[in-house]
Amino acid sequence: MGELLTKPLLSIIIPAHNEAERLPPTLEQIKAFLASQDYQAEILVVENGSSDGTLQIAKAFQDGMPNLRVFSESERGKGLAVRRGMLEAQGAYRFLCDADLSMPVEQVNRFLPPVLTEVDVAIGSRELPGSRRIDEPGYRHLIGRIFNALVRTLVLPGIQDSQCGFKCFSAEAAEAVFPLQTMGGMSFDAEVLFIARRQGYRLQEVAIDWYFDPDSRVRLVQDSLRMGLDLLKIRQNARQGRYDA
């Protein structure tokens, strides 16, 4: 049981590391939302390295959610988890969704036809005129803007927000891009967007509402430095032809 008769329109991919608290309400909200939609969907939770029972909690939800699939990777890293989910997914559209659901779930329809068409990679953005950022401390926003200036200068001209945890790939784009991803950690967003653009896929930012959640798996200083170096690494990889299919 649990197999859908036809391929789903939408796959929702949730990377989860130590999400025992935040995952259950997120799954409940997604379940309620999908029940009111007229398309088929599946949910994929990809856990790795948790010490708080996240994996068991996710599996326990499968009884009440036949369209929930749960995976576990041995090595830590958000990028590794997202790649696994994107390549396991069956949906025509594959939506990356942070476990904290800091974007209201119903806004997922902004990434799908009929609202959005002729886009291969839709990027949830907190920086467009229609975006709203709720409760974010000023210093966090500032750090994000400095990082984005680096991202735009080094790898993704024109993209105002590459780091938000809500992005939607067409099946074709996901299957072309994720096998070429080399970064298993937090820098994967910039890398996969760079690869997608390089391969000629159409990228577009989509305005969302985003609620700041102080509970974070990101280590601000350590991860920011690492990500800065990874931007240079993306350019080097590109020069060396590592992103050529």
Ligand X SMILES: Nc1nc2c(ncn2[C@@H]2O[C@H](COP(=O)(O)OP(=O)(O)O)[C@@H](O)[C@H]2O)c(=O)[nH]1
For residues 221 and 42, what is the distance between their CA atoms, to the nearest angstrom? Answer: 35
Closer CB to Mg ion, 122 or 164, in the complex:
164
- Cis peptide preceding 129, ω within 30 of 0: no
* Binds 161: which of ligand X, Mg ion, none (CB < 5-8 Å by kind): none
Q: Which residue among 91, 127, 165, 190 contacts ligand X (CB under 6 A)?
A: 165
Residues of this chain, 25-64, that bind ligand X according to CB under 6 A = 46-49
Among the listed residues 90, 26, 82, 29, the one whose alpha carbon sits nearest the alpha carbon of residue 54: 26
Closer CB to ligand X, 98 or 119, in the complex:
98
For residues 212 and 216, what is the distance between their CA atoms, to the nearest angstrom? Answer: 10
Q: Name residue, tokens 């789903």.
A: 8
Stretch that binds ligand X, among 71-79, 103-111, 154-162, 172-180 (CB under 6 A): 71-79
Q: How far is the CB of 19 from ligand X (least distance, A)?
A: 5
* Binds 76: which of Mg ion, ligand X, none (CB < 5-8 Å by kind): ligand X
Q: How far is the CB of 236 from ligand X (least distance, A)?
A: 24
* Binds 17: which of Mg ion, ligand X, none (CB < 5-8 Å by kind): ligand X
For residues 81 and 188, what is the distance between their CA atoms, to the nearest angstrom? Answer: 10
Q: Which residue among 13, 58, 81, 176 contacts ligand X (CB under 6 A)?
A: 81
Q: How far is the CB of 102 from Mg ion (least distance, A)?
A: 5
Yes or no: say if 203 and 119 are a contact pair by the CB < 8 Å rule.
yes
3-class DSSP string for 174-191: HHHHHHHCCCCCCCHHHH
How far, rounded to the nearest angstrom, does the alpha carbon of residue 99 sit from its chain's CA centroid? 10
Stretch that binds ligand X, among 9-17, 106-114, 151-159, 195-203 (CB under 6 A): 9-17
Query: With binding defined as CB under 6 A, does residue 98 bind ligand X?
Result: yes
Q: Is 10 left (phi over 0), alpha (psi -120 to 50) or beta?
A: beta
Stretch that binds ligand X, among 92-100, 169-177, 203-211, 227-235 (CB under 6 A): 92-100
Q: How far is the CB of 156 from ligand X (least distance, A)?
A: 18
Q: Where along the sequence are the contacts to Mg ion (CB under 5 A)?
A: 100, 213
For residues 206 and 125, what is the distance between their CA atoms, to the nearest angstrom? Answer: 6
